Amino acid sequence: MKKINSAEIARQAGVSRSTVSRVVNSYSNVPSDTRDRVMKVINENEYYPLLCGQLLAGKRTGTIGFFWISDSPIANDIQSSSFFVHVTEAATEMGYLVLACILKNLSDKDNIEHVKKIYMQERIDGGIFIGIDNHEPLIDELVSKNKIAGVFDYHRPECAEPNRISVNFETSTGIKAIDYAVSMGHTKIAILDGNPERYSCLTRHEGFLAGLEKHNIPIRKEWIANADITEEHGYKAALDFLSNAQELPTCICCQNDSVAFGAYKALREKGISIPGQISIIGIDGHFRGQLMNPPLTTFEFNFKKFFRSLVTRTISAIEGKDGYDTTEFIDSVLVERGSVLDLRK
């Protein structure tokens, strides 16, 4: 079974390679009898044009990179894992393949090099990033090299290149969380903040503070802790904070649901009941929230929407379309479950 190329198809069909190429690429200027004859030979031989030849002649790869930066094991988190599926499904629907890449961090030079190499070798037409700091230099570099980068949770309004694309969480969730806590009668509100390098964490942090101010609730430093973005950090931060606080809050607003799960664990260990003694509010709408005891009240985001938006616009950039937005903000929906006590009753 020798390898077959377009010359062999041309020979068998009695046409030139140009015509074979025209048929393969569905050009209109081929009479249907010629087309049929060529297609017959193609099918008989199960001929598929080699991608490398097409690329060399200037075609695109039809592939997007999916770069996932996370130093915690993604494998153990349903929510994160689902992101991969969302990206792949969205790309597949648009006729693109996904080259997946998991990296522990971008502080390692080798990892940066790995990503650059994938772009520069032209393995992909563009890439999607998740887990990136808002000022990651790698993105700047790729953008300046005219590479296309679609980044999850990333906002750089001072930059307006059409190849710097992003999707973001609404910026109002922090304030919405405080509004809700207050509406349930809470004024003793603690905050488990996130990693300020992440755009979402920053806006949530600012929202929390703005919310407190709006309702004339004095900010108590000892009730604000940094919990990064993982359950583990949330647990430690909550434990630390519960052990040292002189007075306990009645409600904890968490930077995200994973952090909230950590807080659950810490509260349980301390023998503090949820929501009897302390209420908890999450952000994200993590699958696990509904399995918790009590089920977590949270501001839910539709992550499928995030990735669809990001993939769609990244592909628009790849295909040279215009008129797409370089960023988009996605709204949350409050999902009231069992973790917040109504103090007004």
Rule CB under 8 A: which residues touch a copy of itself?
1, 46, 48-53, 55-56, 63, 66, 73-78, 81-82, 84-86, 88-89, 92, 97-102, 116-118, 120-123, 145-146, 287, 291
Question: Is there binding between residue 19 and DNA (CB under 7 A)?
Answer: yes
5 binds, among a copy of itself, DNA, none (CB under 5 to 8 A by kind): DNA
135 binds, among a copy of itself, DNA, none (CB under 5 to 8 A by kind): none
Give φ, ψ of 181 to 5 degrees.
-60, -45
Q: Which tokens belong to 131? A: 């887990």
The least CB distance from residue 83 to a copy of itself, in Å, is 8
If the CB atoms of residues 33 and 247 are measured against DNA, the closer one turns out to be 33
If the CB atoms of residues 45 and 111 are measured against DNA, the closer one turns out to be 45
If the CB atoms of residues 146 and 216 are measured against a copy of itself, the closer one turns out to be 146
Contact 235, 205 (CB under 8 A): no
The least CB distance from residue 126 to DNA, in Å, is 19
Angle (CA) 59-147-72 rounded to 5° is: 115
The least CB distance from residue 102 to a copy of itself, in Å, is 5
157 binds, among a copy of itself, DNA, none (CB under 5 to 8 A by kind): none
**Binder to DNA among 1, 11, 12, 21 (CB under 7 A)?**
21
The least CB distance from residue 121 to a copy of itself, in Å, is 4
According to DSSP, the β-strands at 251-254 and 189-193 are: parallel
Q: Which tokens belong to 12? A: 């068998």
Question: Is there binding between residue 59 and DNA (CB under 7 A)?
Answer: yes
Helix (H, G, I), strand (E, B) or coil at 238: helix
Question: Is there binding between residue 305 and DNA (CB under 7 A)?
Answer: no
Which residues are CB-neighbours of 254 under 8 A, at least 6 positions away? 192, 227, 234, 260, 263, 280, 281, 282, 283
**Binder to DNA among 1, 11, 12, 17 (CB under 7 A)?**
17
Question: Is there binding between residue 56 and DNA (CB under 7 A)?
Answer: yes
Q: Which residues pair with 67 in a beta bridge?
A: 101, 129
Q: Which residues pair with 281 in a beta bridge?
A: 253, 297
| Measured distance CA(216)–CA(141) in Å, rounded | 44
Residue type, 67: F
25 binds, among a copy of itself, DNA, none (CB under 5 to 8 A by kind): DNA
Please tell me the chain's helix, strand, coil percentages from 3-state DSSP, rounded to the nearest 5. Answer: 45, 15, 40
